[in-house]
Amino acid sequence: MASRIRTVLEMIKFEHSVFALPFALTGALLAARATHQPPRGWPTLRQTIWIIVAMVAARSAAMTMNRIADLRYDRENPRTKQRALATGALSLEFAWLFTLAAVGLFFFAASQLNSFALELAPLAIAILFFYSFTKRFTNWSHIFLGFALGISPAAAWIAVTGGLDWRIVILCAAVTLWVSGFDVLYACQDIEYDRQAGLYSVPKKFGIAGALLIARVMHVGVVALLSWLAYGFALPWPAWAGIVVVAGLLAYEHSLVKAGDLSKLDAAFFAVNGYISLLFLLFWGAAAAVWRV
Partner residues linked to 96 by β-bridges:
none
So what's the pLDDT on residue 9?
67
**DSSP string for residues in 130-193:** HGGGGGGT-TTHHHHHHHHHHTHHHHHHHHHHSS--TTHHHHHHHHHHHHHHHHHHHHGGGHHH
So what's the pLDDT on residue 17?
67
Q: Which residues of 161-188 are buried (b: 16+ CB within 10 A; e: fewer)?
A: beeebeebbbbbbbbbbbbbbbbbbbbb
- The candidate with the shortest Cα–Cα distance to 90, out of 217, 1, 192, is 1
Answer for the pair 38, 193: CB distance below 8 angstroms, yes or no.
no
Helix axes 168-187, 237-256, angle to 10 degrees: 10
Answer for the pair 163, 173: CB distance below 8 angstroms, yes or no.
no
Quote the DSSP letter at residue 13. Answer: T
The residue ranges of every structural domain in the chain are 2-290
| Tens-binned pLDDT, residue by residue, of the chain (293 aa) | 667 677 766 776 666 666 789 999 999 999 999 888 776 789 999 999 999 999 999 999 999 999 999 999 999 999 888 888 888 888 899 999 999 999 999 999 999 999 999 999 999 999 999 999 999 999 999 999 999 999 999 999 999 999 999 999 999 999 999 999 999 999 999 999 999 999 999 999 999 999 999 999 999 999 999 999 999 999 999 999 999 999 999 999 999 888 888 888 776 677 888 899 999 999 999 999 998 76
- Burial bucket for residue 278 (CB in 10 Å: 0-12, 13-18, 19+): middle
What 3-state DSSP class applies to 77? coil
Partner residues linked to 261 by β-bridges:
258
So what's the pLDDT on residue 265?
79
Q: What is the spatial distance between Cα 34 and Cα 218, in angstroms, rounded to a whole number? A: 28
Q: What is the spatial distance between Cα 60 and Cα 98, in angstroms, rounded to a whole number? A: 9
> Could you tell me the fold of the domain covering 2-290?
Tetracycline Repressor; domain 2 (1.10.357)
Answer for the pair 31, 287: CB distance below 8 angstroms, yes or no.
no
Q: How many other C-beta atoms can be found within 10 angstroms of the C-beta atom of residue 223?
A: 18
- The candidate with the shortest Cα–Cα distance to 214, out of 251, 177, 263, is 177
What 3-state DSSP class applies to 200? coil
Q: What is the spatial distance between Cα 187 and Cα 216, in angstroms, rounded to a whole number? A: 14
So what's the pLDDT on residue 153?
96
